[in-house]
Amino acid sequence: MPQRRLTFRTACATAGLSLALLSPLSAQAAEQIMFVSQGGAYQKAQTIAILDPSAKKLGITINQDSVPDAWPIMRSQVATGKPSWDVVDVATNFCLRGGEQGILEKLDFSKIPNAAAMPAEYRSDYSVAYEFYSSVMGYSLKKFPDAATAPKTWADFWDVKKFPGRRSLRNNPLATLEAALMADGVPADKLYPLDVDRAFKKLEEIKPHITVWWTSGAQSAQLLNDGEVDMVMAWNGRISALTKEGAKVAYTYNQGILQSTSLCVLKGAPNLPTAIKFLNEAVDPVHQANLPLHIDYGPANPKAYDTGVIPAARVGELPSAPANAKVQALMSYAWWTSAAGEAAEKRWLSFAQK
Amino acid sequence: MSVIDPSLRYRRREQGLMLLLASPAVIVIVALVVIPVGWLMTQSVYDNGFTLEHYRRIFSEDIYWRSFTLTFRIALMVTVLTLILGYPVAYAAAHVKRPWDVLILSFVILPFWTSVLVRAYAWLVLLQRTGVTNQMLERFGLISEPLALVHNELGTVIATVHILLPFMVLPLYSTMQKIPRELMLAGASLGGGPLHTFLRVFLPLSLPGVVAGLTLVFVLTLGFYITPELLGGGRTIMISMVVSRNVELYNQWGAASAVGVVLLVAVIAVFALVGRIIPLDKMLGQK
């Protein structure tokens, strides 16, 4: 893995270098940043849709690194006093926590006009949302072939009499507690602050019927595809990937939990001014609109939907499309990084064990 | 007036030479084991000053106790099962003629060269509800409902036993191979039946291999991560998973390393206790 990462980095650096040679602007500027994301198909899609066009437009070199779990490394990088990363794309809760712990640069939104125009709940003092995905309910079409009688809500997921079958939830409280509360009748827009006791009580109800508490996205897709479970809470991109391969599965955005990753800048980032310039470019509506053409994630900047870049049929499939966002709950990362949220995370391990 | 015994001087020089020979390994161990473990231990009690907070948490919250007992229970089950499965295999390999022993051992070692991750997924394919095992059993009419063979503790144990079997078979085989055949013949000539000679002669002589295998398998199981993570269904939370969760939850290496330190101490305690009952050093030294 380190070797592959190194070659990946070298390849990107080479690509960036050849870009720099082509671009007349960079001859005098030679600015660069180190951008870190999560790798895989997701990072490839960003490179085509956002990173390469941004580098070209700004005349900078964007070096890339990829880490599945950036959070501990962000902390240790800042602790050394000389971080080598500039911009990190990470689950929004880590950006908020990082801001609280003083390991991120506070953002001056007057220098990031594209982000300043985004809805306030999509950004924080230390971060700006980068892309959206959703925790949705997926189900087997073999088990529920008729759309009219298929499960549509979390209350249906919890109703083991009306909808018999095997179920799987993520082995993590984020989005799972929200689903439990919606199953218990809490409206999607009145979830926060979460009633943690009520959520865990509701989860105890469904626990005997949960075959697997999945830990990786790939696992959630495999379980549904192999018929190990009939219903699963999974990320929209995982299930839509199955449908594209012709698997007999479906999902609904109804009562989905809309989640995001955000961009944040490490405290003491070596190329701070360039990093801020990049941040603005990364949430540019056109670049953002390009992303869903390459992967099943939605743009974080709602203006992307007005650019006309995304075909109408595609819009309907995206988690952050206005019509889909309307029927979902927007995760409050502020709540999850609060003391109550962190306590709920710690409580989860004990819940999963018993 | 003292006379220096020349043989003593020679012996000293020889000892120095031996230490020199061992020094590369010693340096590597100090750099890669002693220093990191020392750092780990410091982290667990130091967070802007001396603190026992991480240890207090481990001893006051029952999630740790539950994971520790689960981990030791699984380790014990895996160790016993590998011994039961591995002893006959090693015995056979040590007693059959040339091509057959190679064949047996290659069956033991071949899977050893396959990634643990790949083998864990292979077990998933074999054991899951729609997997090969359940489909066969259903076809033969032995079961009407698929058995829950995986996504639980059972699946974790099955896969871990398979992965660790070579660690039991190989030390057993190397010990058994060195047991002179003549001893068994001598036992037989003195009127001992096959079972009697096995129990009184072969089995005691093979014990060093048994102890080596038990130790290896037990200690390795304690640190297993992939099999419980992939095949445990999210309920089988072994101590390695608690370590990883602690890194995420508490944002401090100390919280995770304290768990590691407690595990280390627990393992040392277990072996000290076992060593009191069974003289481990004598068995391993074959003296």
Domain membership of residue B61 (yes or no) is: no
* Ramachandran angles phi, psi of A295, nearest 5°: -155, 160
pLDDT at B112: 84
For A71-108, write each residue's pLDDT tens digit. 889 988 998 889 999 999 999 999 999 999 999 999 99
Residue A217 has pLDDT above 60, yes or no: yes
Closest CA to B89 of B103, B78, B99: B103
Domain membership of residue B245 (yes or no) is: yes
Percent of chain A with pLDDT over 70: 92
For B1-18, write each residue's pLDDT tens digit. 456 677 788 888 888 888
Q: Under 8 Å CB-to-CB from A340, ≥6 apart: which residues?
A: A193, A194, A196
Beta strands in chain B (DSSP E): none
Q: Mean of the pLDDT values across residues B135-162?
A: 93
Residue numbers of the domain that contains B237: 68-285
For A282-314, write each residue's pLDDT tens digit. 999 999 999 999 999 999 999 999 999 999 999
Nearest residue, CB atoms, A212 vs list B62, B234, B245: B234
Burial grade of A311 (CB within 10 A; 0-12, 13-18, 19 or more): exposed
Nearest residue, CB atoms, B233 vs list A101, A213, A342: A213
Domain membership of residue B148 (yes or no) is: yes
pLDDT at A20: 45
For A104-153, write each residue's pLDDT tens digit. 999 999 999 999 999 999 999 999 999 999 999 999 999 999 988 999 99
Taking a C-beta distance cutoff of 8 angstroms, is the pair B104, B96 a contact?
Answer: yes
Domain membership of residue B281 (yes or no) is: yes
pLDDT-derived band at B280 (thresholds 50, 70, 90) equals: low
Taking a C-beta distance cutoff of 8 angstroms, is the pair A63, A9 a contact?
Answer: yes
pLDDT at A226: 92
Give helix A339-353 / helix B62-95 axis angle, nearest 10°: 40
Taking a C-beta distance cutoff of 8 angstroms, is the pair B119, B125 a contact?
Answer: no
Write the single-letter amino acid at B262.
V
Q: What does pLDDT average to over chain B?
A: 89
Q: In this structure, how many other beta carbons lie within 10 angstroms of the beta carbon of residue A146?
A: 7
Domain membership of residue B213 (yes or no) is: yes
Name chain A contacts of B130, Cβ cutoff 8 Å: 226-228
Q: In this structure, how many other beta carbons lie within 10 angstroms of the beta carbon of residue B8?
A: 9
Paired tokens of B171: 């030390």
pLDDT-derived band at A25 (thresholds 50, 70, 90) equals: very low
| A127-140 and A249-265 beta bridge pairing | antiparallel
Three-class SS of residue B31?
Answer: helix
pLDDT at A68: 82
Q: Count how many residues are written for chain B.
A: 287
| pTM, rounded to two decimals | 0.84
The residue in chain B having the minimum alpha-carbon distance to the alpha carbon of residue A228 is B129
pLDDT at B95: 92
Paired tokens of B106: 């290659």
Residue A26 has pLDDT above 80, yes or no: no
Nearest residue, CB atoms, A212 vs list B61, B233, B251: B233
For chain A, list the domains and their CATH numbers: 2-132+260-326 (3.40.190.10), 134-258+332-353 (3.40.190.10)
pLDDT at B46: 87
Domain membership of residue B127 (yes or no) is: yes
Residue A23 has pLDDT above 90, yes or no: no
pLDDT-derived band at B275 (thresholds 50, 70, 90) equals: confident
pLDDT at B282: 61
Q: Name which residue leads in pLDDT, B285 or A210.
A: A210
Number of domains forming the structure of chain B: 1
Q: Under 8 Å CB-to-CB from B71, ≥6 apart: which residues?
A: B221, B222, B238, B239, B240, B263
Q: Name which residue leads in pLDDT, B14 or A62.
A: A62
Taking a C-beta distance cutoff of 8 angstroms, is the pair A148, A214 a contact?
Answer: no
Separation between Cα atoms, residue A249 and residue B258, nearest integer Å: 44
pLDDT at A160: 96
Separation between Cα atoms, residue B37 and residue B28, nearest integer Å: 13
Find out whether the peptide bond into A193 is cis, omega within 30 degrees of 0.
yes
Percent of chain B with pLDDT over 70: 95
| Interface contact B66-A349, CB threshold 8 A | no
* A124 to A94, A95, A104, A105, B27: CA distances (angstroms): 12, 9, 12, 12, 49
The answer, for B237 touching chain A at a CB cutoff of 8 Å, is: yes
Q: Sign of the C-alpha dihedral, residues A53, A54, A55, A57?
A: positive
Domain membership of residue B11 (yes or no) is: no
Q: What is the CATH number of the domain that holds B187?
A: 1.10.3720.10
pLDDT at B287: 43
Nearest residue, CB atoms, B237 vs list A166, A212, A353: A353
The residue in chain A having the minimum alpha-carbon distance to the alpha carbon of residue B246 is A346
pLDDT-derived band at A24 (thresholds 50, 70, 90) equals: very low
| Interface contact A211-B249, CB threshold 8 A | no
C-alpha count within 13 angstroms, C-beta hemisphere, residue B250: 21
Percent of chain A with pLDDT over 90: 83
Which of A203, A349, A354 is the mutation pick for testing B, counting most B CBs within 10 A? Answer: A349
Residue A19 has pLDDT above 50, yes or no: no
Distance from CA of A170 to the nearest CA of B (A): 9
Separation between Cα atoms, residue A102 and residue A95, nearest integer Å: 10
For B171-184, write each residue's pLDDT tens digit. 999 999 999 988 88
Which of A101, A169, A171, A209 is the mutation pick for testing B, counting most B CBs within 10 A? Answer: A171
Separation between Cα atoms, residue A112 and residue B118, nearest integer Å: 46
Q: Mean of the pLDDT values across residues B103-124?
A: 91
Write the single-letter amino acid at B248.
E
For B182-234, write each residue's pLDDT tens digit. 888 898 888 888 899 999 889 999 998 998 899 999 999 999 999 999 999 99
pLDDT at B251: 72
Q: What does pLDDT average to over chain A?
A: 91
Give helix B239-250 / helix B62-95 axis angle, nearest 10°: 140
Separation between Cα atoms, residue B235 and residue B218, nearest integer Å: 21
Domain membership of residue B49 (yes or no) is: no
